[in-house]
Structure 1
Amino acid sequence: MMQRGRHRRRKRGKALRAFLAGTALALTAAATMISASQATVAADPGALKPLATAAETDALRLHEQLEPRSTLDTLAAAMGKPEGVSAVLADADHSLRGSADCTAAERRALPVEPAATRAYCWDAADTRSWRPGAVTTSGDADDDGLWGQNRVILSAWSQGAHDLARVAFIDANDLDRLTYSWVLLAVPVDEGRDYRALDSQVSGMVWYQDKLLVTAADGLYVYDMNRVQRATTDAPAVGRVNGGWAAHGNRWVLPAVGIYRAGTTHPDYLSLDRSTSPDSLVASNWVSKDSDRNVRLWRYDLSASSDRAGLLTTDAAGFTPVDEAYETRAPGTGAVLSYRSEWYLGRTTQDQDGRGTLWRQNATGAHATRCGTDETNRCWSGQAESLSYWEATGEVWSQSGQTLFSLPLNTIDRSLT
């Protein structure tokens, strides 16, 4: 890959700016205050350094391996006709709590400055033993922000004890009442005669057109949103069982339709950038705070071919090359977003107050969001591992602990030091 200039475009908004608009949340002082003695200015990671040599970028390329159509047809024939997103939303049997019903402990997971404009909390009984992961929305799936007639948020969770990963399909048509259904992520086996659970944490996830791209320990899995299958038994097993098909007690299961195998550097976090031409998948890798390695940030082009909807661009050998790549001295980065040549990086913390930092970087320098009038910048959520930009509304969605929240991207930009 050679670094090259990219043609940036600005798509027209779709008159959805009113959606998700709202005043800043009225959070309690205990949930929002950070004292000067606690907050410290994080080390400036500086400008992004381009990676341009073949040795550096080849380590980031992916190899596409799609499931044979016969495998998918065999599974669908055994389980019944696949269903889509609207069927899952219509079957919603859980609700998120509004911000007014969140506890003080749950609110402490929210960013302090800039403040969230919307926040919701999960039922602790429904998510007990599960670890929150990535967030994506119908704002990623389509540029008008809708999937069919629905506004949808997807929230990934994983459970190490049973090697499971599942996604909450959230009906966001009424922002005063978010409801959802769980869908277990699976992988076909035995040529479609069975499936296994996706046994990995989901730290990165992007819904683009009719495909859902999900990070896992052994690659980037591809799911077809038109191939959601209904489980026929509530047994705690996964796959074919006596009496039907099980999804660990969940009503729905989504089998993978392919995988992108990674090179030596694995993508851990993902987001979608609609400001590039073509649209691009943004990725970063995890580097612990005590490591001396640099974090890498890169992007892949998404295919513009009608017969490859939602898939990455590949060459004749099935490889997806890196279009643009950088590195930065920003260990502890747990979220990545790119928009109009700017890169936003959320960095975690090991401090007791749980606060992290949010940086905007480009080829010339870096700036962090500041904590109001304080000379500090450790006021972001230290647990947020995902950033998803809903371009049609101008909102960034994320998840931290038991809270799902959003805030306008322009408030992030205005709060930069």
Structure 2
Amino acid sequence: MKQRGRHRRRRRGQALRATLAGTALALTAAATLISASQATGSGSPGGLTPLRSASAAGALRLHENLVPRDTLDTLTKDMGGNVGVDGVLESADHAMRNTSDCAAAERAALPVEPTATRGYCWDGGDATTRQWQPRSVTTSGDADDDGRWGEHRVILAGWTQHDRQAATPTRDEGMARVAFVDATDAQALTYRWVLLVAPREGGKDFTAVHSGLGGMVWYQDKLIVTAAHGAGLLVFDLHRLLRAGVNSGAVGRVSDGYSAAGYQYVLPAIGSYDAPGGACVAGDDRAVPCIGSLSLDRTSAPDSLVATERSASGGAQRARVWRYAYSTAAYRTGLLADSQGYVDAAEAYATKAAGLSGALSHTPSGAHEAEWYVEHTPDSRTQHGTLWRQTGSGAKAATCTADQSHACWGLGAESLSYWQETGELWALTGAATQRVLYAVPLSSVDHSLQ
């Protein structure tokens, strides 16, 4: 684990922000591809309402379950040891397309106002496959405050197996994979797929993880993602990236080694956070929430994991947003702060912003109250989303110049991640043929709300 002072100001970060800002002109023209007839966006969700009752707090409690170290060590040894993030990036076999090489439909998915300063489209079949959908994003800006993992700037994008055209679900439905994107050269991004798996039989075998991957945060050496159906969280260790030596459709141990459904690399889960209150239920402040998305807040003390409740876009019920503090213990890097195996929310709120697809909490320098950016995605796949900034006193969203609506954010946007070093807010879009990974300066978002 790298040892660095937290929240250090770096001159190279300022220089990088200036360099990236210059690319904004290349994307401005993309906004003109958006039709002025887009939907008006949802009504204002108003201010955040604090949830302070014991029942509300109890519904958000998690129980930590870690896989025995012997099990993890056995699997790591049997599969030849950790290849590391660098090893995965060095074998990248896909290239992302820069915005100028994206199709018109892909560029049309970018935000209208504020416009993106960077945008990238996926390679080959990943751009159009209907079997896999991009759902979440996190970066080495979350992992470390200098924005790098080793010598690389890295973006992780979580995808889940979900075929909307299939008549019946298959055994692969809900499988989860992560694109490890080398973003060191902002003009030439490359990536490699890694399959998420879970150890079994004392580390002698593994099985595929099933998760909607609506949320994903890489903090220090751990990756935390939403579990299947949003009922809890799964934890992975970036120091246990393993190579599967057999290329076949099987997942797990086979006669001559290990296979991962055709993927060369796997990342095994090292634990989970489960809700002791039972199955999740949407729309009830006193029930266990179905977790929809995750992000990191480096401006809280200590750093915290932000979570949102999954809710329907057209629903009238309130959704919850809350945070869990990360542990500050040196032997618990990347894990949540626990008390005798339990994790409690540090704070929680209710919001009327239904259909949340992402949320971010950030406290501006000198401010005493966090600002919450919540991403609303409408039911229609042809309508742009809305990005609201909420506090306890109210909510604001950008107004589109073309039609004076609030539907200015990405088309089918999923997830939010703030890269502190560059000042960029990252998101991705999920609709087939309109999949874009993009960045917007948080300062531009705030300016659009004036």
Q: TM-score, with normalisation over the residues of structure 1? A: 0.94
Q: In the superposition, relative to structure 1, how do residues 184 and 31 fare at CA in structure 2: closer, same or farther (>3 Å)?
A: farther
Q: Does 1:388 align with 2:417?
A: yes
CA distance in 2, matches of 1:41, 1:242: 55
User: Aligned to 2:179, which of 168, 171, 192?
Assistant: 168
2:244 aligned with 1:261? no
The residue identity in structure 2 corresponding to 1:103 is: A
Counterpart in 1 of 2:148?
A: 146
Give 1:244 deviation, angstroms: 1.0
Alignment correspondent of 1:125: 125
Query: Which residue is 2:342 aligned to?
Result: 319
Look up the SS of the partner of 2:291 in the other structure: coil
Aligned amino acid, residue 34 of structure 2: M
1:207 aligns to 2:218 (yes or no): yes
- RMSD of aligned C-alpha atoms? 1.7
Distance in 2 (CA, whole Å) between partners of 1:278 and 1:393 is 21
* Contact kept? 2:290, 2:309, Cα under 8 Å: yes
Q: Secondary structure of 2:253's match? A: strand
Does 2:351 correspond to 1:328? yes
For residues 233-248 of structure 1, what are the structure 2 equivalents within 5 Å?
233-248=246-261
Structure 1 counterpart of 2:405: 376
Q: Is the 8 A contact 1:22 1:118 kept in 2?
A: no
Paired with 2:355 and 2:214, the residues of 1 have a C-alpha distance of 14
1:17 to 7, 14, 17: 14
Partner of 1:348: 377
Cα distance, 1:79 vs structure 2: 1.1
Matched-pair contact (CA < 8 Å) for 2:89–2:192: yes
Please state whether the residue corresponding to 2:125 is helix, strand or coil.
helix
Partner of 1:223: 236
Which residue is 1:3 aligned to? none
The 1:382–1:327 alpha-carbon spacing in structure 2 relative to 1, beyond 3 Å, is farther
What secondary structure does 1:380 align onto? coil
Match of 1:26 in 2: 27
Q: Does 1:415 align with 2:448?
A: yes
Deviations 1:133-156 (A, max 9, x none): 100000000011111111100011
- Measure the CA separation in 2 of the matches of 1:257 and 1:224: 7
Match status 1:400 vs 2:425: no
The match for 1:180 is 191
Q: CA deviation at 1:388?
A: 0.3
Aligned partners of 1:13 and 1:391 also within 8 Å? no
Corresponding position: 1:191 with 2:211? no
Residue 217 of structure 2 aligns to a residue whose secondary structure is strand
Deviation at 1:108, TM superposition (A): 1.5
Q: 1:30 to 1:405 in 2, by over 3 A?
A: closer
Q: Which residue of structure 2 aligns with residue 83 of structure 1?
A: 83
Equivalent residue, structure 1, for 2:263:
250
Q: Give the aligned residue type for 1:258.
A: G
Within 1, Cα distance between the matches of 2:152 and 2:38? 43
Please tell me whether the aligned partners of residues 132 and 158 of structure 1 are also in contact (alpha carbons under 8 angstroms). Answer: yes
User: For the Cα contact (< 8 Å) 1:358–1:380, is it kept in 2?
Assistant: yes
Cα offset, 1:106, TM superposition: 0.8
Contact 1:32 1:112 in 2 (8 A): no
Deviation at 1:373, TM superposition (A): 6.9
Cα offset, 1:374, TM superposition: 4.9
- Alpha-carbon distance between aligned partners in 2 of 1:23 and 1:30, rounded to the nearest angstrom: 14
Number of matched pairs: 406
Alignment CA distance shift 1:377-1:257 (3 Å): same
Give secondary structure in 1 for the equivalent of 2:262: coil
Amino acid in the other structure paired with 2:446: D
Separation in structure 1 between the aligned mates of residue 314 and residue 191 of structure 2, nearest angstrom: 38
Residue 310 in structure 1 maps to residue 343 in structure 2: no
Answer with 287-296 or 244-253: which moved more: 287-296
Please give the secondary structure, in 2, of the residue aligned with 1:312. Answer: coil
Shift of 1:382: 3.5
Unmatched 5+ residue regions in structure 2?
1-5, 163-169, 278-287, 364-369
1:337 aligns with 2:360: yes
Measured in 1, the distance between the counterparts of 2:144 and 2:33 equals: 34
Q: For the residues of structure 1 that align with 2:121 and 2:256, how far apart are their CA atoms?
A: 36
